[in-house]
Amino acid sequence: MKKNKSIKTVGMVLGTVIITGALIVGPGLLAAGDESKVEPTGSETPVFSVKTEITEKRTLYAFLEVNGDIVSGQEADVFPDVSGKLSRVYVALGSQVRKGDVIAEVDPSKPGVTYMSSPVYAPIAGTVSKMPLSVGATVSPGTNITTLSVTGNLEITARIPEREIAGLGTGLKAEVTLQAYPGERFSATVSHVSPVLDTASRTKLITLTFDRNDSRINAGMFALISINTRTYSDVLTVPVEAAINKHGEITVYILRDTIMGLPQVEKRRVETGVTLNGWTEIRAGLDEGEAVVVQGQQFLSGGETVRVIARGGK
């Protein structure tokens, strides 16, 4: 029974997260579950506690995650030359055969007429990947007795929904995980994308080839495939929670001048790009190395004095 196939688009990011600021917390400043509080200072100007991150350039990766099946890159169905009953079978599932080996015999005899058995030869060298018919089965020249697969030439097939095909193309790199080897990843490359869409399932069939042969991988295995569909190199990023979208205007709060040892915040309008795995690309409005507020923005409107706390209360 084939497994249900599912698909989703996920993201991945490589880069180094830098946290700015030091913890300066007085007794009773933070309550459980809320680290962004207003701290009384004894003056008329309140001080707000915030968390910050430093803007940094990273490489963002967009992935298409899909299920697939491992199949042989070359298969051959085996048919008899005559009609009759399968009298002998010389192979079993998983048997290795050479081209020209006799894998079965068919008895074409009829009531009152006896004929010599007709041998069935292997058309290629390979492995028996489908169980042969049982002895006594009635066959004809159109009956597939068994299927031979060429080992060491394995491929992965998967179907991609119509809504996800825009980023597909040959040469895309992928990582494959198998249920038999949890935690291990096998590299593969998209080698073929069907030029037509299946109108019944509204999907396109793609084929991937393994970058390296591995004897542990067998035809018939189930695979989870992560295809790298897009790469965004060296883009300026902030955590997704730093960018606030209000009425179509996207803003962030950054640390600016210091007053009496405490920084002030400035509200800055920015232009964003892609968002992947918790990071948002900043196309305009920020420079690399600026400190942006990632927690505590609900108390800010611009110009406030803040006290910076590090992530995790450190």
- Sign of torsion over alpha carbons 244, 246, 251, 252: negative
CATH number of 133's domain: 2.40.50.100
- Find all residues with CB under 8 Å of 138, minimum gap 6, and list them: 83, 84, 85, 86
Quick one: 193 and 297 in the same domain?
yes
Rounded Cα distance between 105 and 97, Å, is 15
How many domains would you assign to the chain?
A: 2
Same-domain pairing of 208 and 259: yes
Domain boundary residue among 111, 130, 149? 149
Q: CA–CA separation, 9 vs 167, rounded Å? A: 11
Residues 287 and 191 in one domain: yes
305 with 223, same domain: the answer is: yes
Which structural domain range is residue 99 located in?
A: 75-149
Please, where are the H alpha helices in 162-220?
Answer: none
Q: What pLDDT, on the 0 to 100 scale, is given for residue 299?
A: 79
Query: At which residue do the structure tokens 């929670």 appear?
Result: 241
Phi, psi values for residue 241, rounded to 5°:
-75, -15
In this structure, the answer to whether residues 46 and 122 fall within a common structural domain is no
Residue 278's pLDDT is 86
Domain boundary among 122, 149, 176: 149
What residues pair up with 223 in beta bridges, in sequence order?
68, 178
Q: Which two tokens stand for residue 142?
A: 């159109």
128 and 227 in a common domain? no
CA dihedral 274, 275, 276, 280 (to 10 degrees): 110
Tell me, yes or no, whether 11 and 31 share the same domain: yes
CA separation, residue 123 to residues 84, 103, 149, 235 (Å)? 20, 10, 11, 55
Pair of tokens at residue 66 = 């899909």
Could you tell me which of 264, 254, 260 has the C-alpha nearest to residue 305? 264
Structure confidence at residue 17 (pLDDT): 36
pTM score of the predicted model: 0.55
Element housing 126 (H / E): strand 126-130
Query: Between vectors from CA 56 to CA 54 and to CA 59, what angle results, nearest 5°?
Result: 145
Does residue 156 sit in the same domain as residue 37?
Answer: yes
Domain harbouring 298, CATH code = 2.40.30.170
Termini Cα distance of the chain: 52
Burial 85-106 (b: 16+ CB within 10 A, else e): ebbebebeeebebeeebebbbb
List per-residue pLDDT tens for the chain, 314 residues long: 444 444 444 454 444 333 333 333 333 333 334 444 555 544 566 787 888 888 889 888 888 899 999 988 778 899 999 999 999 999 988 888 999 999 999 999 988 888 999 999 999 888 888 887 889 999 999 999 998 888 667 899 999 999 888 888 999 999 999 999 998 999 999 999 999 999 999 999 999 999 988 888 888 889 999 998 888 899 999 999 989 888 888 999 888 877 677 788 889 999 999 888 889 999 998 999 888 988 888 878 888 877 788 543 33
DSSP count for the chain of H helices, then E strands: 0, 24
Identify whether residues 250 and 237 lie together within a single domain.
yes
The pLDDT assigned to 188 comes to 95
Last residue of a domain, one of 95, 126, 149: 149
Within this chain, do residues 85 and 200 fall inside the same structural domain, yes or no? no
Domain check: are 108 and 141 in the same one?
A: yes
69 and 79 assigned to the same domain: no
pLDDT for 172 equals 92
Q: What is the C-alpha separation between 63 and 227, in angstroms, rounded?
A: 5
